[in-house]
């Protein structure tokens, strides 16, 4: 079974006004030949203009979240079909900032994954333990149970990825050691194989949390690491390109 093609995805979070489109274009212009798939996930309102700004490039565009229903009376929300209609091909779901800040349970994340599949979006499903959970020796159990609870059976045979993002490593400059990353990624891989069979060896398992040009090579070459989900360092083309080049 061949290794999955690495995915390097930038999560702009709630950052980026019109001038930031030039930064995305600089990524597209600088990406060159790479074995990785590269994606930028800007705020939803920028997606359509980013599609235009990146015309002719191989850089994929994704959303960051969407509602679990396809349409209806949900003031202020965005549906998966709207992201796809604007030009998104992927979507980040279950990010810890959604799980913690908006109390999204595994069940809610799973329903959002189903909505993504209905809209033809490729989900990047995030999991990860808090510092307290890691210190209590619970990291592997938490991550395994998030994978089981957030990934519906309907993902079998579809393109998706899982992102391991320890909550304590996001935006903090802290990262787990390489053996710690490998231990969790191996646990995710074996859970995926349990759930989806041998085909799950082709699912990229991304690492996310304070990935920078300076630590990207070590992280990306760790066992079972199939790419990165990058927050802060994806906002500057030079930094994001430095990570892409480390694949």
Query: With binding defined as CB under 6 A, does residue 179 bind ligand PGA?
Result: no
Half-sphere exposure of 98 (CA within 13 A, CB side): 21
Closest-by-Cβ residue to ligand PGA is: 231
Q: Which residues contact 154 (CB under 8 A, 6 or more apart)?
A: 113, 114, 117
Q: Which of residues 211-240 bind ligand PGA (CB under 6 A)?
A: 211, 229-233
Q: Are the beta carbons of 38 and 70 closer than 8 angstroms?
A: no
Query: With binding defined as CB under 6 A, does residue 210 bind ligand PGA?
Result: yes
Q: Which of residues 140-159 bind ligand PGA (CB under 6 A)?
A: none
122, 165, 224, 239: which one binds ligand PGA (CB under 6 A)? 165
- Least distance to ligand PGA from the beta carbon of 215, Å? 11
- Least distance to ligand PGA from the beta carbon of 10, Å? 9
Stretch that binds ligand PGA, among 110-118, 130-138, 148-156, 164-172 (CB under 6 A): 164-172
Query: With binding defined as CB under 6 A, does residue 176 bind ligand PGA?
Result: no
- Least distance to ligand PGA from the beta carbon of 170, Å? 4
- Least distance to ligand PGA from the beta carbon of 231, Å? 2
Please give, one letter per residue, the 3-state secondary structure of 166-234. Answer: CHHHCCCCCCCCHHHHHHHHHHHHHHHHHHHCHHHHHCCEEEECCCCHHHHHHHHCCCCCCEEEECHHH
- How many chain residues touch ligand PGA (CB under 6 A)? 13
Query: With binding defined as CB under 6 A, does residue 170 bind ligand PGA?
Result: yes
Q: CB-wise, 81 or 96, nearer to ligand PGA?
A: 96
Query: With binding defined as CB under 6 A, does residue 24 bind ligand PGA?
Result: no
Question: CA-to-CA distance for 86 and 204, rounded, in angstroms?
Answer: 25
Query: With binding defined as CB under 6 A, does residue 125 bind ligand PGA?
Result: no
Largest CA distance in the chain: 49
Enzyme catalytic residues: 95, 165
42, 209, 226, 227: which one binds ligand PGA (CB under 6 A)? 209
Q: Are the beta carbons of 138 and 129 closer than 8 angstroms?
A: yes
Of the candidates 234, 184, 246, 190, the residue with the CA atom closest to the CA atom of residue 42 = 234
Query: With binding defined as CB under 6 A, does residue 171 bind ligand PGA?
Result: yes
Of the candidates 184, 188, 185, 206, the residue with the CA atom closest to the CA atom of residue 196 = 188
DSSP 96-155: HHHHHHS---HHHHHHHHHHHHHHT-EEEEEE---HHHHHTT-HHHHHHHHHHHHS-GGG
Stretch that binds ligand PGA, among 35-43, 80-88, 192-200, 205-213 (CB under 6 A): 205-213
Q: Where does this chain bind ligand PGA (CB under 6 A)?
A: 11, 165, 170-171, 208-211, 229-233
């Amino acid at each position: 079974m061949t290794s999955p093609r690495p995915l390097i995805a930038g999560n702009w979070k709630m950052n980026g006004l019109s001038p930031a489109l030039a930064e995305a274009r600089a990524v597209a212009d600088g990406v060159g030949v790479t074995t990785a798939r590269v994606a930028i996930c800007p705020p939803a309102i920028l997606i359509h203009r980013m599609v235009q700004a990146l015309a002719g490039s191989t850089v994929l565009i994704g959303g960051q979240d969407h509602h679990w229903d396809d349409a209806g009376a949900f003031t202020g929300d965005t549906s998966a079909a709207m992201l796809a209609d604007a030009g998104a091909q992927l979507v980040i779901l279950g990010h810890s900032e959604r799980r913690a800040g908006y109390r999204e349970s595994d069940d809610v994340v799973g329903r959002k994954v189903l909505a993504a599949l209905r809209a033809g979006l490729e989900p990047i499903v995030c999991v990860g333990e808090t510092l307290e959970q890691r210190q209590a020796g619970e990291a592997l159990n938490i991550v395994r149970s998030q994978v089981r609870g957030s990934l519906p059976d309907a993902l079998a045979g579809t393109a998706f990825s899982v992102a391991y993002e320890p909550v304590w490593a996001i935006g903090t400059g802290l990262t787990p050691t390489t053996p710690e990353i490998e231990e969790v990624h191996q646990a995710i891989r074996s859970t995926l194989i349990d759930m989806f069979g041998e085909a799950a060896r082709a699912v990229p398992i991304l690492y996310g949390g304070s990935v920078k040009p300076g630590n990207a090579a070590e992280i990306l070459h760790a066992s079972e690491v199939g790419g990165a989900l990058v927050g802060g360092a994806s906002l500057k083309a030079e930094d994001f390109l430095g990570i892409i080049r480390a694949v």
